[in-house]
């Protein structure tokens, strides 16, 4: 009888420990990410200073992934994760101490946000590398689907928890975040697995970064998927900013705005739950279908940039995006040589955050210059352009035809 990979995955002790530790860690980080700008505003009353602190938290996602890739490829992935969680816990604990002692300082907030964000980059890269070591090859898609669902659930819970805890007391979200790192550290130490360290000769870091970039550039599917990731990120986040500006001007309640902006996370949770069986049935062909569904979803706000059309669009994009992420990440993990997985993953993750950062800038510019309705039309046209281009790329139309013998061995 053929074994069902998804049924045995949750009996895999190492995977469950990794999943639980990351879920709690992400929840704590999302809570403190929501609370930190609120804290700065409460302490200083300055939106500008709150913006600097928020920037310090997200800047590592834009600048550190690619240079971090070669190092994570060289190092023991579990050691990287353990030390990252310890360092993040210390950074947040310092912030808690300043709150308890009444010595709040914006410079401390900036440093704490940057340190936690930087170590988070290392943690996420190491976790990506860990998957082939923790699960069998036939469990890869279910494991990545489980991780996708976990990330969306933790994001939804963490953001809600951050605001709630901050209302109880300024230090509470950060205490919970510090404890989340302790829990994650404990789950990592409890794992029984053989971790790997690269046995290849170490070269100059810039050359190793270039190796990763060149390898991805020579893989037709991963190169096209990276371009798509940037394009979709720009379009979706431009729409979010356009909606937020329109809703605020039209007096939509903060609650409805929040519910609307949470809808991608809800869709992502549902998508993560069904991604593994869908991938088992349709394989990599899900990716092209996902792109066209994205485009159809972004047509909804053309009716009106209002709560229901935008909520529907974001719910759908979150749902199919989660499914597409599982397919694309399965391709990346299975096809990338193990000794290069950190570098190649770093390029893919950088593309994600570049799109997420550029989208709001474009949305704000369009909303201010041409108005809400025209901005929505431009966003849809951009998404349609990305989709038509993707459909012409042979590697996106037939990803399975570009599969090499499974490259990733541990």
Whether residue 70 is contained in a domain is answered as yes
Q: Final residue of a domain: which of 152, 177, 202?
A: 202
CB 99 within 8 A of CB 174: yes
Residue 60 has pLDDT above 50, yes or no: yes
CB 198 within 8 A of CB 79: no
**What confidence tier does 3 reach under pLDDT thresholds 50, 70, 90?**
very low
Instruction: Tell whether 195 and 247 lie within a shared domain.
Output: no
- Does any domain span residue 409? no
Kindly tell me the sign of the dihedral angle through the C-alpha atoms of 161, 358, 127, 92.
negative
181 near 50, Cβ under 8 Å?
no
| pLDDT score recorded for residue 23 | 94
- 229 or 401: which carries more pLDDT confidence? 229
Based on the fold, state whether residues 248 and 158 are members of the same structural domain.
Answer: no
E-strand ranges in 19-136 read none
Q: How far apart are CA 198 and CA 135, in angstroms?
A: 19
The domain of 259 spans: 208-402
Same domain, 190 and 124: yes
Residue at 408 is within a domain:
no
Tens digits of residue pLDDT in 250-270:
887 767 887 888 888 899 999
Question: At which residue do the structure tokens 């991963």 appear?
Answer: 222
Is the domain of 100 the same as that of 32?
Answer: yes
Residue 265 located in a structural domain = yes
- From the number of C-beta atoms within 10 Å of its C-beta (0-12, 13-18, 19+), residue 253 rates as exposed
Residue indicated by tokens 């609650």? 255
Q: How far is CA 268 from the centre of its chain?
A: 11
Total domains present in the chain = 2
Secondary structure of residue 115 in the 3-state scheme = helix
Which of 180, 202, 224 is the last residue before a domain boundary? Answer: 202
CATH number at residue 52: 1.20.1250.20
Would you say residue 221 has pLDDT above 80? yes
Mean pLDDT of 196-206: 60
Task: Please say if the pLDDT value at position 38 is more than 90.
Answer: no
Residues 282 and 308 in one domain: yes
Q: Are residues 90 and 117 in the same domain?
A: yes
Nearest partner of 235 among 88, 368, 387, judged by Cα = 387
- Does the reported pTM lie above 0.85? no
What DSSP assignment string belongs to 253-306? -HHHHHHHHHHHHHHHHHHHHHHHHHHHHHGGGHHHHHHHHHHHHTTGGGT-SS
Over the stretch 163-178, which tens digit does the pLDDT of each residue have?
888 888 889 999 999 9
């Amino acid at each position: 009888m053929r074994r069902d990979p998804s049924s045995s995955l949750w009996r895999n002790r190492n995977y469950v420990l990794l999943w639980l530790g990351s879920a709690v860690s992400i929840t704590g980080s999302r809570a403190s990410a929501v609370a930190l700008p609120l804290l700065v505003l409460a302490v200083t009353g300055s939106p500008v200073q709150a913006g600097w602190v928020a920037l310090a938290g997200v800047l590592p996602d834009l600048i550190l992934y690619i240079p971090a890739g070669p190092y994570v490829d060289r190092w023991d992935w579990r050691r990287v994760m353990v030390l990252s969680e310890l360092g993040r816990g210390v950074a947040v604990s310092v912030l808690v101490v300043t709150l308890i002692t009444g010595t709040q300082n914006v410079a401390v907030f900036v440093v704490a946000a940057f340190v936690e964000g930087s170590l988070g980059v290392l943690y996420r890269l190491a976790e990506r590398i860990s998957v082939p070591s923790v699960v069998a090859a036939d469990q890869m898609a279910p494991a990545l689907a489980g991780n996708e669902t976990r990330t969306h659930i933790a994001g939804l819970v963490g953001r809600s928890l951050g605001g709630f805890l901050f209302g109880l007391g300024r230090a509470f979200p950060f205490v919970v975040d510090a404890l989340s790192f302790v829990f994650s550290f404990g789950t990592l130490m409890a794992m029984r697995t053989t971790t790997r360290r690269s046995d290849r000769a170490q070269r100059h870091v810039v050359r190793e970064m270039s190796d990763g970039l060149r390898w991805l550039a020579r893989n037709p599917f991963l190169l096209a998927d990276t371009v798509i990731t940037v394009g979709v990120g720009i379009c979706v986040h431009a729409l979010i900013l356009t909606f937020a500006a329109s809703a605020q001007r039209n007096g939509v309640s903060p609650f409805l705005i929040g519910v609307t902006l949470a809808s991608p996370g809800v869709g992502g949770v549902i998508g993560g739950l069904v991604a593994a069986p869908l991938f088992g049935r349709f394989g990599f062909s899900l990716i092209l279908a996902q792109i066209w569904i994205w485009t159809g979803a972004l047509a909804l706000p053309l009716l009106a940039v209002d709560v229901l059309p935008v909520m529907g669009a974001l719910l759908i994009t979150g749902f199919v995006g989660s499914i597409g992420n599982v397919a694309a990440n399965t391709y990346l993990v299975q096809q990338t040589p193990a000794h290069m997985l950190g570098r190649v993953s770093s390029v893919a993750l950088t593309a994600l955050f570049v799109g997420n950062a550029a989208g709001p800038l474009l949305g704000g510019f369009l909303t201010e210059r041409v108005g809400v309705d025209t901005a929505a039309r431009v966003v849809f046209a951009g998404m349609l352009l990305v989709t038509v281009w993707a459909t012409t790329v042979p590697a996106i139309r037939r990803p399975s035809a570009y599969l090499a013998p499974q490259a990733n061995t541990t």
